[in-house]
């Protein structure tokens, strides 16, 4: 494993752990020496991703920092696809939808190839997607944020203010009772609020690693949108509604949310 892959694996382990993880546990899980794991952990500490504690323990940094879109795309890929597949069930022929910036929302597009839908997006990564679609894709104008693969700013906001959507599919960096649905950039937060306000229904797509985390700016209150995610957390009870996406290839033994927990949507 190259360093980037090891650090990605360490972040996945920490993100799925409810408590701290010790260096010895990471050594066993990653399959490298203790000194190599410590170097990787030190690098993640410098990047603000994790916190090193006394006694050789490590935990994820609850005050998350932004990663470039290219790096985020490699994390929790299966969960993001599963969430996107669940979200795609809510799109019907003839809909006009907003697809936000972010790696989870981007995964929605391949599931819409056979749907006649108009897609308005601020996600510049759509330009590199090879899949053909029956729908029409409209890319908003504005300031380009290359690290995020996103369009933001006053021009974007003016364009959104003149549009109306059947549904908005919104990304997030954090989801907590203290800060609601949050993101790192004030322009991103404003854009998400506008998309929500201009939509008949809005959905926030996020994986379980975002629960209990807060980014810099609140975009929405928890009770304003339906959350689509890949695992249950008590924080979902504070949302307007929620859907737990399940991997269709998972066995029957996988813990599933009760049917009544799959929202109401409208």
Q: What are phi and psi of 86, to 5 degrees?
A: -65, -45
- DSSP 3-state assignment of 166? strand
- Could you list the beta-strand ranges (E) of 71-221: 96-99, 118-121, 136-139, 143-145, 150-152, 165-171, 174-176, 180-183, 199-205, 217-220
DSSP collapsed to 3 states, 58-78: EEECCCCCCCCHHHHCCCCHH
The tokens of 27 are what? 């050594």
Cα separation, 6 vs 1, in Å, equals 6
CA angle (125, 2, 149) in 5-degree steps: 15
Which of the following CATH numbers is that of domain 3-60: 3.40.50.170, 1.10.10.10, 1.10.10.60, 1.10.287.130?
1.10.10.10
Q: What is the CATH architecture assignment of 69-261? A: 3-Layer(aba) Sandwich (3.40)
User: CA 217 → CA 180, 191, 235, distances in Å?
Assistant: 9, 12, 18
Of 198, 210, 221, the closest CA to residue 75 belongs to 210
Show pLDDT as tens, one digit a residue, over the chain (266 residues). 788 788 888 888 887 776 788 999 899 989 999 999 999 888 888 766 778 887 788 877 655 545 444 445 445 688 899 999 999 999 999 999 999 999 899 999 999 988 999 999 999 988 887 666 778 999 999 999 888 889 999 999 999 999 999 999 999 999 999 999 999 889 999 999 999 999 999 999 999 989 998 888 999 999 999 999 999 999 999 999 999 998 765 544 333 343 334 554 43
DSSP state string for 170-205: EE-SEEETTTEEEES-HHHHHHHHHHHHTEEEEEEE
Domain ranges of the chain: 3-60, 69-261
Of 91, 109, 104, 79, the closest CA to residue 245 belongs to 79
Of 199, 184, 14, the closest CA to residue 91 belongs to 199
User: CA 212 → CA 62, 69, 104, 180, distances in Å?
Assistant: 7, 21, 18, 9
pLDDT of residue 6: 87
């Amino acid at each position: 494993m190259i360093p980037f892959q090891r650090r990605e694996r360490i972040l996945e382990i920490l993100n799925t752990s409810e408590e701290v993880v010790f260096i010895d546990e990471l050594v066993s899980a990653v399959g490298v020496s203790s000194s190599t794991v410590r170097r990787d952990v030190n690098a993640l500490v410098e990047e603000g991703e994790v916190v090193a504690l006394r006694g050789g323990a490590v935990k994820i940094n609850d005050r998350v920092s932004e990663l470039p879109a290219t790096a985020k795309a490699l994390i929790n890929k299966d969960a993001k696809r599963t969430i996107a597949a669940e979200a795609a069930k809510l799109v019907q022929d003839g809909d006009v939808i907003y697809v936000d910036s972010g790696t989870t929302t981007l995964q929605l597009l391949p599931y819409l190839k056979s749907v006649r839908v108009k897609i308005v997006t601020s996600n510049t990564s759509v330009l590199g997607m090879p899949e053909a679609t029956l729908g029409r894709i409209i890319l908003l104008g504005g300031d380009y944020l290359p690290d995020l693969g996103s369009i933001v700013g006053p021009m974007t906001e003016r364009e959104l203010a003149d549009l109306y959507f059947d549904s908005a599919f919104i990304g997030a960096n954090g989801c907590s009772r203290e800060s609601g649905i949050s993101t790192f950039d004030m322009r991103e937060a404003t854009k998400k609020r506008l998309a929500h306000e201009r939509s008949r229904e809005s959905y926030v797509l996020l994986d379980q690693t975002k629960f209990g985390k807060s980014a810099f700016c609140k975009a929405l209150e928890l009770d304003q949108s339906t959350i689509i995610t890949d695992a249950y957390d008590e924080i979902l009870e504070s949302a307007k509604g929620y859907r737990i996406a399940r991997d269709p290839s998972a066995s029957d033994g996988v813990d599933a949310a009760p049917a009544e927990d799959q929202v109401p949507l409208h």
